[in-house]
Amino acid sequence: MKDLSGKILGKIKKENVQPYSRLHFIIHNFVIWSLFIFSSVLGSLACGVVIFQIRHTDWELYHYLNVDYGTFILINMPYFWLVFLLGFMGIAYFYCRRTERGYKCPAALVITASVIFSIAGGIVVYKVDLAERLETVCINNIGFYRKLQEKKTEIWMAPEKGLLAGTISRIISGNKFKLKDLKSRTWQMDVSHARWRGHLKAAAGLKIKIIGRMSGKNSFIVREIRPWQGRGWRRFFNMGR
């Protein structure tokens, strides 16, 4: 044992090994904890958008599309944000294990805590409408993300199946208006017996989703009108872009 200690001390003297200062460890821990907290916050933001997208998906529409419910779920899952969420949860786990006492915690406990934190943070992000605003920013500024969301909106472009979406272009009367759909076609809408959801009122420029049936080549009898997205923040996918 003495020989081993001597060898170690000899190697330290020979290589001039210097101990780290207390400041080094303070800075190291600060950086690790900052990265852990930052990753956890980003994970919460991603979780909030996942909740937002799931909450505002029209899950009952599979009845109109001749697909089973499982297939419809697979089509509408928010894969982008789920990958984003899992990625930052993984980063948070990585840095948590490298904190001063994090390496002592069982992996299952760290993972469970990370999941709970992300879900709790995601709920807060969703409740304060930050998730919808983040979604809007991504759609307006990230081309490939916008295309992903546009793919999802195509589900509403099936007038022969009773689904239609677009922007009200002109009010004709209390029971009729013109609609410019997502493919720039113009429809005359009969809303005499329509149910308006989300406290909507007919107005030029309002973007909506419609359930009903075709009554002619460019005419539609409306059964139900829904908000285009969310709770009334800025509407995106503006016509004419």
What CATH number does residue 196 fall under? 2.40.50.140
Tokens of 45: 């933001």
* 8-state DSSP, 193: T
Contact 111, 207 (CB under 8 A): no
Per-residue pLDDT of the chain (241 residues; tens, 9 = 90+): 455 555 655 555 555 555 556 676 677 677 777 777 888 888 889 899 889 888 877 777 777 766 667 777 777 778 888 888 888 888 877 777 776 666 667 777 777 887 888 889 999 999 998 888 888 888 888 888 887 777 777 788 888 888 999 999 999 988 999 999 988 899 999 999 898 987 888 889 999 999 999 988 889 999 999 888 654 333 333 333 3
Instruction: Please check whether residues 119 and 217 belong to one and the same domain.
Output: no
Crossing angle between the packed helical segments 130-141 and 22-55, to the nearest 10 degrees: 90
**Residue 189 burial by CB count (10 A; 0-12/13-18/19+): exposed, middle or buried?**
buried
Residue 184 lies in a domain: yes
Q: Give the pLDDT of residue 221.
A: 93
CA angle, corner 232, sides to 236 and 191, nearest 5? 90
Domains held by the chain: number:
2
What Cα–Cα distance (Å) separates residue 25 from each residue in 16, 39, 52, 138?
20, 21, 40, 38
Amino acid identity, position 139: I
Whether 142 and 181 map to the same domain: the answer is: no
Distance separating alpha carbons of residues 225 and 187, to the nearest angstrom: 15
Structural domain contains residue 179: yes
Q: Are residues 119 and 188 in the same domain?
A: no
Give yes or no: residues 87 and 107 share one domain.
Answer: yes
Domain shared by 127 and 13, yes or no: yes
Q: How far apart are CA 51 and CA 45, in angstroms?
A: 10
Paired tokens of 27: 């800075």
Q: Give the end of a domain, one of 92, 123, 149.
A: 149
Do the domain assignments include residue 55? yes
Query: Which residue spans within the chain are E strands per DSSP?
Result: 163-173, 176-181, 186-190, 195-196, 207-216, 219-227
Q: Do 124 and 33 share a structural domain?
A: yes
Structure tokens at 233: 């923040």
For residue 37, tell me if it sits in a domain. Answer: yes
Residues 98 and 31 in one domain: yes
Q: What six digits make up the tokens of 62?
A: 């599979």
Q: Is residue 240 included in any domain, yes or no?
A: no
Residue given tokens 């469970």 in the structure block:
112
237 in a structural domain: no
Give the domain extent around 21.
2-149
Angle between helices 130-141 and 143-153 (to 10 degrees): 110
- Return the H-helix or E-strand segment holding 231: none
108 and 175 part of one domain: no
The DSSP letter of residue 158 is: B
Q: Is the domain of 221 the same as that of 197?
A: yes
> CA-to-CA distance for 207 and 44, rounded, in angstroms?
29
- On whether residue 6 sits in a domain, the answer given is yes
Domain assignment present for 239:
no
Task: Tell me, yes or no, whether 54 and 137 share the same domain.
Answer: yes
Q: Counting beta carbons within 10 angstroms of the beta carbon of residue 10, is it exposed (0 to 12), middle (13 to 18) or buried (19 or more)?
A: exposed
User: Do 135 and 195 belong to one domain?
Assistant: no
61 and 106 within one domain:
yes
